[in-house]
Amino acid sequence: MDIYQLAVRPLLFSALKADPEAVHKQSLDLLHAIDSTPTSPLTKIAKASFQQYFCRADRQLEQSLFGLKFANPVGLAAGFDKDGIAAGIWQYLGFGFAELGTVTYHPQPGNERPRLFRLPQDRAALNRMGFNNLGSAAMAAALQQRERGDFTIPIGINLGKSKITELEDAATDYLGSFQRLKDLGDYFVINVSSPNTPGLRTLQEIEPLRIIFDTLQQENQGRKPILVKIAPDLAWEDISAVVELSQASKLAGIIATNTTLDRSQLTTKIIARTGKTVTEEAGGISGAPVRQKSTEVIRFIHQQTGGSLPIIGVGGIFTADDAWEKITAGASLIQVYTGWTYNGPWMVDRILTGLLAKLEARGLRSISEAVGIGKD
C-alpha cells in the first residue's frame, strides 16, 4: 500500500465525510489549474514529478489500433473529465489514452444531488450523474484553444444524448456533437448504455442503433474511429446483434462495459448518506461488482468476432491481475475510473509493471500477443 491508500483515501472517504462529487470537482479543478498554466514553474515541476512517479514507458506495452498508436493499454474512462478541462494532463499521470465526456449536444446540469456514492465494502461506486456537462460547444471551444502537440496520447470523446432530445431524434443529437468535435478528438464513442438518462438504453436495440451508426458514419466518411459502448446487462443474443451491426457499420471497436443495474452481488445494504437501501437508490454500479460480468462480455465478443473487432475493456480493474484478466479475455485496451479513485495515481504504474512481469513470465514479446489468449 502507498501513502494514498494509507492516509489520503481514509481521510477523504471517512474522516472528512466529504461529498464524493465535491472531492472529484476539487481534484479536477487542481488538475485543470496545472494543465492550463504550461509555462508556470510550478506546473513544470508538477509535470516532471508526475512523469517520474506515475509514468512507465516500454515498447512491449505499445500497440497500434484503428490507426492510432497507444504507448500503453491503460486509459482513463469517460466520466472523470466530462468537459475536457484537464485534457492535457492525463499523459503525465501514466495513461496511454484518455476519454473525455460524456458530452451532450445541449448543456445540462444532470440529475439532482446527491448523485454519487462510494460503496467501500464493495470497492464500488453508485452514480446517477445524468450526463452533467457544459455541452459539446463548450468542449469544442476548450479543445480549440489547445495546440495539437499538447497531447502525446490519443484523446477520445464520448458522445451522449441530451436529456431534452426525444429518443426518435437521438441520431441528430449525436450528429450535432460529432460535427462540433470531429476535428478535435482522435476517436469517438457512441454512449447508448448509461442507465441515468431516461430511455437511453433502448437505443441499444438494433433499429435505433442502426440509424445512429449510419448517421454518424455518413458524416464521418471513415476519417475517425467510432466505437460503441454497451451495457453489461444486455442478453447474449442482444450483444451478438450489436456486434454484428457494429461490424456491418464498420465501427472501429466496442467498449465493454458501462455500469450495471445489478445489485445482487453487493455487500452494502444501506447508503449511509441517505439512509435508503441500495436497491432504492437509482443509478449504475461501477467498480469490483462489475468486473466478472464485463470480462464475460469481452470474452463473448472476442470469440464471436475471432478477435477482428478491437475491444476496450472496462469494469472493476484495480490491479495488474484484473487488467490481465480483461486482456487475455480479448481486450486490446482497458480503461479505469473507480479503481483509480480507490487506489490513487500510482495505480497505473503498478498495473503496467505487473503486465510487463506477466509478459516476461509467459515469454511474450508484446502486450498484443496476450490479447485473447485465455487463462493460462
Please confirm, yes or no, whether 194 is among the known catalytic residues.
Answer: yes
Pairing, β 155-159 against β 97-103: parallel
Binding-site residue ranges for substrate: 82, 127-131, 191, 196, 258-259
Burial class (CB in 10 A: 0-12, 13-18, 19+), 295: buried
Distant-in-sequence, close-in-space partners of 304: CB < 8 Å, separation ≥ 6: 240, 243
Q: Around 11, how many Cα atoms within 13 Å sit in the side-chain half-sphere? A: 7
Specify the pairing of strand 284-287 against strand 124-127: antiparallel
Annotated catalytic residue within 136, 177, 193, 194 = 194
Point out the annotated binding site for FMN: 78-82, 102, 158, 191, 229, 257, 287, 316, 337-338
Burial per residue of 193-212, b for 16 or more beta-carbon CB atoms within 10 angstroms, e otherwise: bbbbbeebbebbeeebbebb
Rounded distance, CA 230 to CA 314, Å? 11
Is 120:13 a contact under the CB 8 Å cutoff? yes
By CB atoms closer than 10 A (0-12, 13-18, 19+), residue 363 is exposed
Binding-site sequence positions: 78-82, 102, 127-131, 158, 191, 196, 229, 257-259, 287, 316, 337-338
3-state secondary structure of 335: strand
Catalytically active residues are 194
